[in-house]
Structure formats: structure tokens, C-alpha cells
Amino acid sequence: MFEINPLRKRQFYGILIGFVIAIIAISSLLFIKPAEEYLSIGPMNTGHEGFSCNTCHQDAKGTWMQQIQSNSEHALGLRKKMVEFGSLPVTTKKCLSCHDRDNDRHPTHRFLEPKHKKAIQKIDATNCATCHSEHNGIRVSLAQGNYCMNCHSDTKIKDDPIDTPHSELFKKGMWSTCLQCHDFHGNHQAEAALFMKDTIPLSKIKAYFKGGDDPYEGVKKFKALSEQEWIKKYTKK
């Protein structure tokens, strides 16, 4: 393929060894915790700051060479299933290992029911990442707060307590007003306002989406596990 002049032999091997050492050194440094922010594709979302990569990105089975071999075998029809390469995909189940709670008003699994088929074609509420796409340095990654319209356009409120009836808000397409009283996961103890003027301004909701202060009053019913609590819960003693 190519030839090396014997006079350049030492130089060639010197460069080769130096190159290998450099690759190993850089790779080792990149995978230590202080270097993780350089590997990350973007800043962690609100509340996830300081997480280790491994909190979400669990290593796939085997070494990368074994993974290459297994997937090559699969490509040649020598094994039934492919294996994950590098790390396992981050699934909703992974998110729920810290965020799952019984009092969630919109738990992801409920949207797996056949009747929600049309709704999840518009917004995949079975997947946390649909609204909370990671590595964006914010809390909610949806641009608009009008997603309630995907399921609640037919909702009827009996003895509607607010001064501007819900039916009127729906009719006018004022879907961003929903969040001015109701947080999607129902994680706050607060009572909904009875007058539109008392509802939370949309600007505060949007700021909250971007990682700002919690605009909903009242006690939080549930707090997600911290990384340490998660480790304690899931690491076998």
C-alpha cells in the first residue's frame, strides 16, 4: 500500500506510538467527570445540572470491540439481534426511575391506551422527551404552551367555577391559558384561580419553561430523586 524509507523507520514508529499514547490519554481524560461537560451535546436541563453522564447513559453490554463483532455477525445473518453500541438508549423508563409518582395527572403510560392514538400522533405524551428534550439547559423544550388542545378540545366543565368559562377559552383557542391555572403533571397543591385576572401570567409560565422560578403556588406534592438518592435507591448494597 505504502512504503517507509528505512531511514524514516524510527521516526514512523515514534509518531505511531505517540499517536496511540495521545489517543489513550485524551480518551481517558474525556471520560473523567470534570471533562463530561465537553462531551455533552448541550447544557443539562433545569434540575439536572451536575449529573454524571452515567446517570442517564448506561453503558451497553460488552466492550466496543465485542459490540462491533456482534453487530457484524448480525449483518452477516449469524445472530438474531443487534446489540446496543456504546451506551443504552435513554428511555422514558429511565426518566421515571427518578420522576415517577402515583399522583401524576398525566402519567406517560396512560397515553399508551388505544383511545389516545390520535392524540399521541399530534404530541407523543408517552415519551418524556417530547416535552423535556435533554441537553437544552431549560425545563420544558416545547416552544408553545398550548398542547392541552390535543386532548381537551371536547372537555366540558360542569359548574364551571372561573369567571371566563372554559368553553369560551376553548372556543377562542386560548389554549395557553390552561397552564395559567393547571400544571400538566398536577404536582402542586395550589387551588385554581376563580378569576382570570388572578391567574399566573403567561410570561411567568414561559420563564418557568426556560428554567425560571416556579410560578405555581402551594406545596409541591412530589420531588424527583436527586442523583444521590437515585444511586442509593437503585444500587444494591
Residues of this chain that interact with another protein (CB under 8 A) are 1-6, 9, 12, 61-63, 65-70, 72-73, 79-81, 83, 96, 100, 102-104, 107, 109-110, 112-115, 117-118, 151-152, 154-156, 158-159, 189, 219, 221
Pick the closer one to another protein by CB: 149 or 202.
Answer: 149
Pick the closer one to another protein by CB: 101 or 204.
Answer: 101
Least separation in angstroms between residue 103's CB and another protein is: 5
Least separation in angstroms between residue 36's CB and another protein is: 26
Least separation in angstroms between residue 104's CB and another protein is: 8
Within 10 Å of residue 196's Cβ, how many Cβ atoms? 14
Least separation in angstroms between residue 140's CB and another protein is: 21
116 Cβ contact partners less than 8 Å away, ≥ 6 residues apart: 110, 125, 151
Pick the closer one to another protein by CB: 117 or 232.
Answer: 117
Pick the closer one to another protein by CB: 102 or 213.
Answer: 102
* Residues forming a β-bridge with 87: 59
The C-alpha atoms of residue 150 and residue 140 are separated, in whole angstroms, by 17
Least separation in angstroms between residue 29's CB and another protein is: 24
DSSP state of 153: T
Least separation in angstroms between residue 143's CB and another protein is: 25
* Residues forming a β-bridge with 220: 188
Least separation in angstroms between residue 232's CB and another protein is: 17
The C-alpha cell at 38 is 465537553
The C-alpha atoms of residue 161 and residue 193 are separated, in whole angstroms, by 9
Of the candidates 88, 87, 90, 68, the one whose C-alpha atom is nearest the C-alpha of residue 79 is: 68
The C-alpha atoms of residue 101 and residue 23 are separated, in whole angstroms, by 44
Pick the closer one to another protein by CB: 34 or 114.
Answer: 114
Residue 201 CB-half CA count within 13 A = 4
Pick the closer one to another protein by CB: 37 or 168.
Answer: 168
Pick the closer one to another protein by CB: 52 or 155.
Answer: 155
Identify the three-state secondary structure at position 59: strand
Could you tell me how far CA 164 lies from the centroid of its own chain? 35
The C-alpha atoms of residue 204 and residue 179 are separated, in whole angstroms, by 10
